[in-house]
């Protein structure tokens, strides 16, 4: 199958371009800066650039365990990934210190304007994470963003990492809305791909990856940052 044929097949699975009634926001790297963990790596004697390998390894392992059918909670997967990334040199206290940083991650500057725009449009917003709901809530509270959100949804409740379709379908059930009227906004193209494949509206912010990869389902809206993505979601036909 050619690239064009593959893209056409993916496009046929997309729901129509319609203004969402609910918007879900991915949390880590979409709303909160995981790169802030770099200082904690330095604190425990590791190179600051290891934060990225650690985080991508956590996501990879969580997805692989989900596929295998025996996923552990995010905190446990992250702890194991951190131990491996640090070549098993860190004490339990050092591991705790790095992982505690998830509750103190700062927000990206485009998050609050995007949430304010949704509030003005009277479209409810939820945080949607595969980390623990309590950790995400604490971080969003510290960042001053919880006031804009109706709630924080965690895939841990159904023992899964993103992006299987059942994860997005479960989230739609939690917000009491049909998938075709729910948008998922993220900076991870694989996350938006999963949402679009599950029948949701996809909003992709390119500030992490730079562009939409050729191998994913086409998002309904694309923008350089969350504010532009939200403005384009709001502008979709009702």
Q: What is the pLDDT of residue 80?
A: 98
Give per-residue pLDDT as tens, 132-173: 899 999 999 999 999 999 999 999 999 999 999 999 999 999
Peptide bond into 163 cis (omega under 30): yes
> What are the pLDDT digits (tens) for 7-21?
555 566 789 999 999
Q: Which residues contact 129 (CB under 8 A, 6 or more apart)?
A: 26, 27, 28, 136, 152, 153, 154, 155
The rounded percent of the chain whose pLDDT value lies above 90 is 92
186, 130 in Cβ contact below 8 A?
Answer: no
DSSP 8-state secondary structure symbol assigned to residue 14: P
Tell me: pLDDT of 59 over 80.
yes
């Amino acid at each position: 199958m050619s690239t064009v044929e593959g893209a056409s097949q993916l496009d046929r699975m997309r729901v129509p371009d319609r203004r969402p009634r609910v918007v879900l926001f991915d949390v880590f790297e979409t709303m909160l800066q995981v790169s802030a963990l770099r200082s904690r790596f330095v604190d425990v004697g590791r190179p600051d650039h290891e934060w990225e390998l650690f985080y991508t390894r956590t996501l990879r392992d969580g997805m692989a365990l989900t596929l295998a059918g025996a996923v552990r909670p995010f905190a446990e997967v992250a702890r194991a990934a951190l131990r491996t990334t640090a070549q098993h040199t860190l004490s339990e206290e050092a591991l705790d210190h790095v992982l505690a940083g998830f509750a103190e991650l700062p927000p990206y500057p485009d998050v609050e304007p995007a949430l304010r725009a949704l509030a003005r449009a009277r479209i409810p917003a939820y945080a949607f994470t595969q980390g623990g709901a309590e950790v995400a809530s604490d971080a969003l509270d510290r960042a001053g963003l919880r006031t804009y959100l109706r709630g924080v949804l965690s895939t841990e409740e159904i023992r899964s990492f993103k992006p299987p379709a059942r994860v997005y379908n479960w989230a739609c059930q939690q917000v009491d809305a049909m998938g075709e009227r729910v948008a998922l906004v993220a900076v991870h193209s694989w996350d938006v791909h999963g949402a679009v494949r599950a029948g949701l509206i996809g909003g992709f912010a390119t500030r992490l990856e730079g562009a939409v990869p050729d191998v994913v389902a086409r998002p309904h809206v694309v923008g350089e940052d969350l504010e532009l993505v939200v403005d384009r979601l709001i502008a979709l036909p009702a």
